[in-house]
Structure 1
Amino acid sequence: MDDDVSRRVALEVTDGVATVRLDRPEKLNALDPAMFEALVAAGTALVDRDDVGAVVLTGAGRAFCAGLDLASFAAMADGSRVVVPREPLGAARALGQQAVHVWSLVPAPVIAAVHGFAFGGGLQVALGADIRLVAPDAQLSVMEVQWGLVPDMCGTQILPELVGRDVAKELALTGRRVSGSEAARLGLATREAADPLAEAQALAAGIAGHSRSATRATKRLLDLAGRVPLAEGLQAEQDEIGALIGSPEQVAVVRRRLA
């Protein structure tokens, strides 16, 4: 792995909880090509890990992620930015999309702990998580329009599902900043937390303590909701519950609870 990539994101696993930390604090964890690659690498590394029951996604220093770094904008302005074709990762073909979409491919639930700034692409990275805990004074913005761009890291597909189509348009067409408190009211965040990292870690530990098969099946089912025909979603429920009932893991859970 390229040295810049290996330094951009830290990955640690303790007691079934993986902590993925954007680790470029001197730049407010701004996104550059190496950061995108590191996020994809970290997410991909967790896809097949059976020892991970939940994931916490956070940023080092004063911000979760301040968005695209200024050097990338400069490359757009002078025409030196080159888009390199990539192999698809799930439904995503572009590198920026993969840095967000990869978290939906991780079978374990992913919890983003957001503090400081989550602007533009940084906010879209947080949107890739299953749950977002946000500091009340955090600042979030779908900022791309202010740079003459559109949210191109899965944001246009995720936002309407979270906040409704009209609110998504208002946020994306203005680029206005919202506090963590407002983000929670809008549905942009799951809820606010005075210490989002501590609460995310506690939540992740609780989830990791449940049956891995059950939590992963729950994530799969909820990710289907509204995206597949109802009959397909209902059949998926039956397929998942059929695989769980009577399995050694489920039997062990029942015995513990009845003991």
Structure 2
Amino acid sequence: MRVTLDAPTCRNAQVPTMWAEMERLATTLPPEIRVVVLTGEGPAFSAGLDRGMLTPGGVDGEPDLLGLTADGPEALADLIETFQHGFTAWRECPALVVAAVQGPAIGAGFQLALAADLRIVATDVRFAMAEVTLGLVPDLGGTHALTSLVGPSRALELCLTGRSIDAHEAVATGIASLAVEPDQLDATVDDLVAAVLGAPENTMREMLGLFRGIESRTAAEQQRTERGAQARILCAMTAAMRGRTRPGA
């Protein structure tokens, strides 16, 4: 399944209604969907938040962020929590989520890519946690995801400076798994998806469970997670073998 940001004329800038739709998609995936690919139409993955959201009156059909500041920080924080669900939902869905990222992935665009389990990037990728350039902080789950990949010191530096990360640095720091030429991105992602779908479904889903949340587990907790997963796989495998060899089968 592909989920494509499809507003190329504005470099796939994001708005809250888009985040609500992403949450809906992530939380209503059909059970047969094993892999989701997040992409952006056109030369940019996403330029981040639509800047119109930060102007008086905001964007038609979207929450008036500046107007809502009159309700105080707690009410605004509650609203932002609903925005965050469009990102965290991908980390909680049962499918493997792969971000295929080309060109700019700025601010909310970077945070959406970080919400995926894996990132395959084009050599023209440009990641940046650029909220600081607007006097803001990242608030869509990106700080935790980035820190788990690159460590707190580098994550802080990236968020404080808003500087760009190219494909080489993205791979070297573990933000991306692989960088390929732009014209090879789709084929490379298709090959990855094919390899994942070639594995037994229960193994793939157990593997996903092993690695999601691994940064918050102790070594002993991870070992317990591993042995539980392996035991379930072996029991299912044995049950299937018995089903194939039962008398009269």
Q: TM-score, normalised by structure 2?
A: 0.84
Q: Deviations over 1:136-178 (max 9, x none)?
A: 1111101011111111111111111111222111111100112
1:249 offset after TM fit, Å? 9.1
- Structure 1 250/220 Cα, relative in aligned 2: closer, same or farther at 3 Å? farther
Distance change >3 Å, CA 232–CA 114, structure 1 → 2: same
Alignment RMSD = 2.3
**1:50 correspondence with 2:34:** no
Q: Which entry has the higher C-alpha Rg, 1 or 2?
A: 2
1:72 Cα deviation after fit: 0.9
- 1:145 and 2:132 correspond: yes
* Alignment-derived partner of residue 30 in structure 1: 13
Structure 1 stretches (4+) deviating beyond 6 angstroms?
Answer: none
Number of equivalent positions: 228
In 2, Cα distance between equivalents of 1:73 and 1:150? 14
Deviation at 1:240, TM superposition (A): 1.3
Aligned counterpart, 1:60: 41
Deviation at 1:248? 5.0
| Greater helix content | 2
Larger deviation, residues 97-106 vs 195-204: 195-204
**Conserved 8 A contact 1:113-1:200:** yes
Give the Cα separation in 2 of the matches to 1:84 and 1:78. Answer: 11
Q: Which residue of 2 aligns with 1:106?
A: 93
Mapping 1:201-212, distance limit 5 Å: 201-212=190-201
- How far apart are the structure 2 equivalents of 1:53 and 1:40? 17
- The answer to whether the Cα contact below 8 Å between 1:55 and 1:109 also exists between their aligned partners in 2 is yes
What percent of counterpart residues are identical? 34
Cα distance, 1:203 vs. partner?
A: 0.6
Q: Distance in 1 between matches of 2:119 and 2:225?
A: 26
Inter-CA distance 63–249: structure 2 relative to 1 (3 Å threshold) = farther
Higher mean displacement: 73-82 or 193-202: 73-82
Whole-angstrom CA distance in 1 between matches of 2:47 and 2:166: 14
Query: Do the aligned partners of 1:211 and 1:249 also contact (CA within 8 Å) in 2?
Result: no
Amino acid of the residue matched to residue 9 of structure 2? E
* Partner SS, residue 110 of structure 1: strand
For residue 127 of structure 2, give the secondary structure of its aligned residue in structure 1.
strand
When residues 228 and 78 of structure 1 are mapped into structure 2, their CA distance, relative to the original with a 3 A threshold, is: closer
Equivalent-residue separation in structure 2 for 1:98 and 1:78 (angstroms): 17
Matched, 1:135 2:122: yes
Deviation at 1:119, TM superposition (A): 0.0
Point out where structure 2 has 5 or more consecutive residues left out of the alignment. Answer: 59-63, 70-75, 245-249
* Distance in 2 between residues matched to 1:44 and 1:135, nearest whole Å: 28
